[in-house]
Amino acid sequence: MKVIFDTDPGIDDAMALLYLSKLPKIDLLGVTTVVGNADIATTTRNALFLKQRFGLSAPVVRGAGRTLDGVDKAEPVIVHGVNGLGEIDIPAIDDSDLHPAEASQFIIDTLKAHPGEVTLIAVGRMTNLALALRAEPDVARLGKQVVIMGGAFGYQGRSGNITPAAEANIFGDPVAADEIFAAEWPVAVVGLDVTHDIILDTDYLALLSQEVGENGALLSQMCEHYARFYREIMGLSGVVGHDLLAVTYALHPEWFETRRGPVLVQRDGIAVGQTIQMPETRKGGHPDWANRPPQTVCIGVDASKVLAHYRETVSR
């Protein structure tokens, strides 16, 4: 499976990158960065650090530092720390290995080079994908699928995490997210409806630290900051594995319950960033949804299989 991983590292992004580094079924073609969990310079530095640390051969490609809605958002320091990776010590990083292209152009060029073969896994704001679409709208027909970590549709009573209506990645650039849902490529949405079933509790993290070696210890160190947020804000004993679940979906969609139908993102107002799906089975419906392609939203997941697979994979 050929993959571009679009990311804003980010502690849970680091979990997903370690996962990708251990999956022989994945041909990782590139790691594209976007503003989100930190500014673009920091997320790109973090991606280069993780590439070197995890032994990835895929190029790191710097992406968008500004969102399409033109609104600056505060960085989630309380969640990921000032440096985006839980305040671990990060050595000076040689950026000479940084790919010379812009992320949106890299996405276009890669989809053209491998028509119908590339899965885009996007676990940050959707800005790079939307910029690629704006530059060449027909490129959507060349993608195999897009799997995003984002959104919240109210299943199991789960709503937004940045506002009561909106999940952070969609809220971060609602214009870009709305544009990618409207495009002619298949999108699978792995949102808060399912990611909050993936709890890496204290015992699980301790096992990773023991079984995975130095990189397991690194994840455990990052997660000390992450776990403090989840403990103090949500009362959890552990952390939520948001971004790793998008990788799991690309590999094992059969572990998920889904619903089909077009998706629209609220672009402004008090509910900006809210994701709303019209079920494919509904007769008629509002034209703002009816004129869009149906997309796939995850509404349930076999969490035990996911957690077992992640532990088994990264422990190899």
Q: Answer whether 25's CB lies under 8 Å from 252's CB.
A: no
How far apart, in whole angstroms, are the C-alpha atoms of residue 122 and residue 189? 10
DSSP structural state of residue 87: T
Q: Kindly state the helix (H) or strand (E) to which residue 187 belongs, with its residue range.
A: strand 187-190
Unique residue bearing structure tokens 């973090």: 46
Residue 273 φ/ψ, nearest 5 degrees: 90, -5
Q: Locate 140 and state its tokens.
A: 């959507």
> Which residue from 26, 16, 65 is spatially nearest to 222, judged by alpha carbons?
16
Unique residue bearing structure tokens 């969490």: 303
Q: Locate 128 and state its tokens.
A: 């790079």
Q: Answer whether 266's CB lies under 8 Å from 289's CB.
A: no
How far apart, in whole angstroms, are the C-alpha atoms of residue 11 and residue 15? 7
Q: Answer whether 148's CB lies under 8 Å from 188's CB.
A: yes
Pair type for strands 118-122 and 60-61: unpaired
Instruction: Estimate to the nearest angstrom the gap between the alpha carbon of 53 and the chain centroid.
Output: 20
Q: Which of 80, 242, 252, 286 is catalytic?
A: 242
Q: 242 catalytic, yes or no? A: yes
Task: List the catalytic residues.
Answer: 242
